[in-house]
Amino acid sequence: MSKKVTKIGVLTSGGDSPGMNAAIRAVVRTAIYHGIDVFGVSRGYNGMIEDEIEQMNSRSVANIIQRGGTILKTARSKEFFTEEGRKKAYENLRKRGIDGLVVIGGNGSFTGAYKLSQEFGIPCVGLPATIDKDLYGTDFTIGFDTAVNTAVSCIDRIRDTADAHDRLFIVEVMGRHAGYIALHSGIATGAENILIPEDETSLDEVIASLSEKEKRKKLVNLVVVAEGHSSGGANGVAEILKSHLPNLDTRVTILGHIQRGGSPTCLDRLIASRMGYHAVESLIEGRHDVMIGIFQNTINFTPIEVAIREKQRMSDDWMRIVKILAS
């Protein structure tokens, strides 16, 4: 029989993503509903080490569901990856009697939670919050939908100016080593070519495609590139294309961190709220060291160890769709 959870800590860690505040709100209010004290840890694992931990109440999370970023702040902590750092963090949790932890973040954040759980017996639950959508065990990650919609809005505007000037625009989107933002935003904006790490399309194919379109007098072209593509991103692609297609007026736009900001979409608010609620319920039921995901619209519990180790696989259908729709 699992020990009853009486005090829960919640933190956001790693890169920020829209919807983190909605998740915090759900964790805090679900815990309070069940009579459980809840503590917010500021600045991720750094704040845990430096004892930046304060008790929260319902008013602490009022009027935050629509805000981007995270009220708890976030950071990446090198010290937490040392035994001394984790021991210090644990002692700060222990002196408050915190016996459960909800970690809102990505792969690196879950690695830290897993080590804390294994070394000190703190039950942990992870909520997948990353715009990259690269975590195994869930169809959705908190922040992805907002990031994609931001990218789509920007690319739509770029297409307008590309059309006005008969230009080739190469647009770089975020995603680290995953190409989901590029894939989804590229399809949604009618990009002629999409370059992602999971499908290392040869630039020779892109050059051939653009050359054929140039002959057909199709002068407006969009190429969406994931930042993790082996070509070196948009600037690397642009250099190669300019050398082979000097007649094309080629411009580069790097969307950058604009994709992390802004008010979360309805979908991100909903999944963050649903996941936050189930994180607390999971700790109460004695189910821990899991990541809360949503798979085929059903809550899915993936062991954190598996979520860290396994990789999200992209369907081969997607790239076939891209090639056919851009033809």
Average pLDDT across the chain, whole number:
92
Residue 311 has what pLDDT? Answer: 84
Average pLDDT over residues 213-240: 83
Integer angstrom CA distances of residue 125 from 92, 250, 284, 324: 19, 47, 11, 41
**How much is the average pLDDT of 176-180?**
91
Return binding residues.
Answer: 15, 25-29, 76-77, 106-109, 130-132, 159, 167, 174-176, 190-192, 216, 218-220, 227, 251, 257-260
Record the pTM.
0.93
Write out the catalytic residue numbers: 132
For 134-168, the pLDDT digits (tens) are 999 999 999 999 999 999 999 999 998 888 888 88
Asked whether residue 219 carries a pLDDT value surpassing 70, the answer given is no
- At 1 the pLDDT is 41
**Domains within the chain, CATH numbers bracketed:** 7-143+264-309 (3.40.50.450), 146-260 (3.40.50.460)
Residue 206: is its pLDDT beyond 90? Answer: no
Q: Tell me the torsion sign for CA atoms 225, 226, 231, 232.
A: positive
Annotated binding site for substrate: 130-132, 167, 174-176, 227, 251, 257-260
Please report, in range form, the residues annotated as the binding site for Mg(2+).
Answer: 107
36-66 residue pLDDT tens: 999 999 999 999 999 999 999 999 999 999 9
Cα Rg, the chain, nearest whole Å:
22
For residues 14 and 3, give the distance between their C-alpha atoms in angstroms, rounded to a whole number. Answer: 30
